[in-house]
Amino acid sequence: MKELFATYLVEGVSVRSIERITGIHRDTVLNLMVLAGERCEALMSKRIRQVKVSDVQADEIWAYVGMKEKTKKAKGSDLDTLGDACTFVAFERQSKLILAWHLGRRTARDTLLFTEKLYKAVDGTTNRFQMTTDGFGGYPDAVSYSLGTRVDYAQLIKMYAASNDDERRYSPAQCIGATPVAMFGNPDPEKICTSHVERQNLNIRMAMRRFTRLTNAFSKKWENLKAALSLYFAYYNFCRVHSTIRCTPAMEAGITKSVWTLKDLLMA
């Protein structure tokens, strides 16, 4: 039954839909999700270590918990577990592996916490790699502090057109150009790219109902969002066969030798 719940959760089914399909109360579903998320977070921390990489891309995906940040401010709330939630993701271009992730806010502090997780995930003894991020100002200092001796780092600075008034609420601004900027090290200009990790952001929105825009399926609790992310990233790395490499990212990276089932994942 746990494997069935997990399958629904990583395939974009909402908690209330699972309740209707299975007849199991939503609180039970959420409790199982939190338990699975804790196990998956521990598994990722244990298994994604000293990975040899060549081309890493990092990006952030936005969501919110309980209410949007502007509503939180309007209500005068100062709870850290409400409002905007930013998920940092580090993606290896060749193996398609999620190396590290961090749920927090789009701040310099949380960016540093994210790069410290990436530092622990990659092989730093003989492995020098290239890394590309967007133009967020928190990255240069964090990458320099955590990865400066092992990385050739560049940013891809994107320029956006002003949105029409009637489009501003629902449509993102149109990207009209991107400028690659070498920050330090010796990054290859041909590899300065964030397209692959941005495509991964689409996978996240498609696979987790709580990331679907303009619905009431958003997370109501911070710990539930974190658990859902933990479950998804572990499932993606160890269980889901990637169509490009025809195996799981963990197999391509040499971490595992076979495709795991959800039962394997939850029991590991």
Q: Summarize the confidence of residues 242-251 as an average pLDDT.
A: 96
Structural domain span for residue 195: 2-267
Q: What are the tokens at 27?
A: 């609180």
Which residues touch 210 (CB under 8 Å, ≥6 apart)? 14, 63, 217, 218, 219, 224, 225, 228
Q: What is the mean pLDDT of the chain?
A: 92
Question: Which helix (H) or strand (E) element contains residue 154?
Answer: strand 151-160
Among 25-39, 71-85, 146-160, 166-180, the range scoring the smallest mean pLDDT is 166-180
What pLDDT band is residue 133 in, cutting at 50, 70 and 90? very high
Q: Summarize the confidence of residues 132-143 as an average pLDDT.
A: 96
φ, ψ for residue 6, nearest 5 deg: -65, -40
Q: What are the tokens at 160?
A: 């956006």
**Distance of alpha carbon 135 from alpha carbon 93, whole angstroms:** 19
Amino acid at the residue 160: Y
Q: Summarize the confidence of residues 102-109 as an average pLDDT.
A: 96
**Long-range contacts: 76-83, Cβ < 8 Å, 24+?**
81/221, 81/222, 82/222
Number of domains, the chain: 1
**Distance of alpha carbon 261 from alpha carbon 224, whole angstroms:** 23
Among 26-35, 159-168, 244-253, the range scoring the smallest mean pLDDT is 159-168
What pLDDT band is residue 174 in, cutting at 50, 70 and 90? confident
Evaluate if residue 261 carries a pLDDT over 70: yes
Q: Summarize the confidence of residues 35-49 as an average pLDDT.
A: 95
**Distance of alpha carbon 144 from alpha carbon 167, whole angstroms:** 38
Q: Summarize the confidence of residues 204-216 as an average pLDDT.
A: 92
